[in-house]
Amino acid sequence: MNLPYAEPWRIKSIEIIHRSRAEDREAWIRAAHYNLFNIKSEEVYVDLLTDSGTGAMSAQQWAEIMLGDESYAGATSYYKLKESIEEILGFPYFLPAHQGRAAENVLFSALIGVGEEGRGKIVPGNSHFDTTKGHIEFRHAEALDLTIAEAFDTENPHPFKGNVDLVRLADFLEKTPRESIPVFILTITCNSSGGQPVSMANIRGVSELCRKHGVPLFIDAARFAENAWFIRQRESGYESRGIREIVREMFSYADGATMSSKKDGIVNIGGFVAFRDRAMMEKATSFNIMFEGFNTYGGMAGRDLGALSVGLRESTDYEYLEARVGQVARLGAAMVERGIPVQKPFGGHAIFIDAGRFLPHVRREEYVAQTLAVEIYREGGVRGVEIGAILADRDPVTRKDRFPALELVRLAVPRRVYTDLHMEYVAATVGNVWDRRADIKRGYRITREAPILRHFTVELEPA
C-alpha cells in the first residue's frame, strides 16, 4: 500500500490559540465596526487574514536571527542576503526595504517620478496588488490591468489565470508613446486574481514585447516560488526541471523585481528591489536612503536580512512547496466537496471564495464579499479578508465606488503554521455559513472611510 503524504517538518515551538463563544464574537465584530482589520488577533481562532509576515521560521532562520550583524554599513547579514538574491533570482544589485510597498515606493520614485511627475503616465500589468496600485495612483498615474479574461470566471479551469493578454498588451504598446510607460509590473503569482500563476511562455511573451518597445519589465516577486511550483506542475517542458532552475529562468526575462519578503521570503518583515542594471539601481539608491535607510540595511534589522537569506533558499525547496501549495489545495478540495463556489484552479497561497455566487441575494452596493467575510468570522472565529468593492475603493477622478468583476473572500494560509485539522475546521465553518446562505439577504453600509486604501480602516453598519 502507498504510504500517505506528510509534511517535511516537525514542530519545535508552538503558539497557544483559543476558540471563542458565538455571543462574544458578535460583540467583538460589532465593536470592530464590522471591519475584520479592527478585530484583535486573540479574538480569532484560525487567522487567514493574510499569508504576509505570518509564516513560521525554521530553526536555521532563527539561528540567523542570533547571528544577525547590526552594523550600520556593510553588515555580514547584508552580504548573506546579497549572495542568496544573486544565486536564486540572478540579480547582481539590490536595495533592502522594510517591506514590499516600501520597495514599490523606492522603485516608482525612480521610474515614475514623485508628485506631479507621474501625471499622464500608465503602468500596465496583470492585476496590480492594492499597494502597487495605491503607489501608482498616489503619483497621479494610471494602473492598467491587462489580465486575461479567463481570470474573471471562477469556473474556468485555465491553468495560468495570472497571464497577461498579450494581444491587448501589444496593442497598448503600439498606441501609447514610450514616455508615458515608465515600467511594466508583472505580479507572480497574481494575488488579486486569486493567487494565480503566470506561465513561463507568458513571462517570455511580456518580456519580448516590453523589450521591443523599450519598457522596463519588473516582477512583483512576493510569491515567486509558488509561481515556479505551478510552472513545474502545469507547463509542458518544465515537469522534470528543478524549482531553482525555473526560478532563474523566470527572472532572466526581467530587468528587476520588487519583493515583499513577508510571503515567499518566509520572514515576518522585509522586502527589497533587485536590479540587473547598475545605473537604474543607482537612480533608486537616493530614494532608498531617504525613505528606508542606508543601502546595506534599508529599513531592515541585520537579523532579518540574515533570516531572509535562508528563507529564500527554503521557499524554493521542492518538498517545502509540495507541502505548502498542497495544503492550500486540500483546503480548496474540502470547500468544493461542500459545494462552495471558489476560484478554480486553486491558487498558491489562498482559497478565494466567489462571494457573488455564495450570496446572490445581497446587493453589490451592500458589499457582498465583506458580508460573507463577517459571516464566516461570526460562525467560527475564522478571519479571512474581503477582495471586493471595499478594497477596489473609489475611482480617483469620479469618487464613485468601483465594482470589480468578482466579489471574493480570500482565505490566505500562513506558511508552515496551521495543520490540516485547522483547514478542516475552516472548511466546516464556511460550510455552516453555506448551509444558511438563503437567510443572508442584507449587507453593510459605510459610515467612515479614508481617502485612499480605505479597506484597512473602513467602518460599517448593517444595511
Residue whose grid cell is 532608498? 288
Q: What are phi and psi of 424, to 5 degrees?
A: -65, -40
**Is 148:175 a contact under the CB 8 Å cutoff?**
no
Contact stretch for ligand F0G (CB under 6 A) within 7-15, 84-92, 99-107, 360-368: 99-107
**Interface with ligand F0G includes 288 (CB under 6 A)?**
no
3-state secondary structure of 67: helix
Which phi-psi region, left, alpha or beta, contains residue 192 (left: φ > 0; alpha: ψ -120 to 50)? Answer: alpha
What residues are labeled active site? 72, 129-130, 220, 222, 263, 455
Alpha-carbon 55 to chain mean position? 13
Instruction: Tell me how far, at minimum, the Cβ of 50 lies from ligand F0G, in Å.
Output: 3
Contact stretch for ligand F0G (CB under 6 A) within 4-12, 128-136, 313-321, 352-360: 128-136
Alpha-helical segments (H) within 292-410? 302-315, 318-337, 355-358, 368-380, 389-392
- 223 burial type by CB count under 10 A (0-12 exposed, 13-18 middle, 19+ buried): buried
Instruction: Tell me how far, at minimum, the Cβ of 286 lies from ligand F0G, in Å.
Output: 21
**Is 410:418 a contact under the CB 8 Å cutoff?**
no
Nearest to ligand F0G of 61, 362 (CB atom): 61
Instruction: Tell me how far, at minimum, the Cβ of 236 lies from ligand F0G, in Å.
Output: 26
Instruction: Tell me how far, at minimum, the Cβ of 314 lies from ligand F0G, in Å.
Output: 18
Of these, 191, 285, 295, 316, which contacts ligand F0G (CB under 6 A)?
Answer: 191
Of these, 100, 124, 265, 298, which contacts ligand F0G (CB under 6 A)?
Answer: 100
**Is 255:280 a contact under the CB 8 Å cutoff?**
yes
Of these, 82, 135, 262, 344, which contacts ligand F0G (CB under 6 A)?
Answer: 262
Residues contacting 278, CB < 8 A, separation 6+: 92, 93
Of these, 77, 131, 316, 327, which contacts ligand F0G (CB under 6 A)?
Answer: 131
Pseudo-torsion of CA 419, 456, 431, 4, nearest 10°? -20
Nearest to ligand F0G of 101, 434 (CB atom): 101
Nearest to ligand F0G of 104, 255 (CB atom): 104
**Interface with ligand F0G includes 220 (CB under 6 A)?**
yes
Residue whose grid cell is 478594497? 391
How far is the C-alpha of 268 from the C-alpha of 274, rounded, in Å? 20
Of these, 96, 124, 205, 271, which contacts ligand F0G (CB under 6 A)?
Answer: 271
Instruction: Tell me how far, at minimum, the Cβ of 171 lies from ligand F0G, in Å.
Output: 25
Instruction: Tell me how far, at minimum, the Cβ of 105 lies from ligand F0G, in Å.
Output: 9
Please state the length of the chain: 463
Angle at 240 between CA 238 and CA 245, to 5 degrees: 65
Contact stretch for ligand F0G (CB under 6 A) within 95-103, 199-207, 304-312, 323-331: 95-103
Of these, 84, 187, 207, 295, which contacts ligand F0G (CB under 6 A)?
Answer: 187
CA distances in angstroms from 460 to 46, 406, 447, listed in the order given: 23, 21, 5
Of these, 222, 247, 362, 372, which contacts ligand F0G (CB under 6 A)?
Answer: 222
Binding mask 38-57 for ligand F0G (x = CB under 6 A): ------------x-x-----
Residue nearest to ligand F0G (CB): 100
Instruction: Tell me how far, at minimum, the Cβ of 96 lies from ligand F0G, in Å.
Output: 12
Amino acid symbol at 282: E
Which residues are paired to 94 by β-bridges? 274
Nearest to ligand F0G of 187, 327 (CB atom): 187
- In the DSSP assignment, the letter for residue 152 is G
How far is the C-alpha of 446 from the C-alpha of 58, rounded, in Å? 42
- Restricted to residues 341-400, the positions that interact with ligand F0G (CB under 6 A) are none
**Interface with ligand F0G includes 274 (CB under 6 A)?**
no
- Binding footprint of ligand F0G on the chain (CB under 6 A): 50, 52, 99-101, 129, 131-132, 187, 191, 220, 222, 260, 262, 271
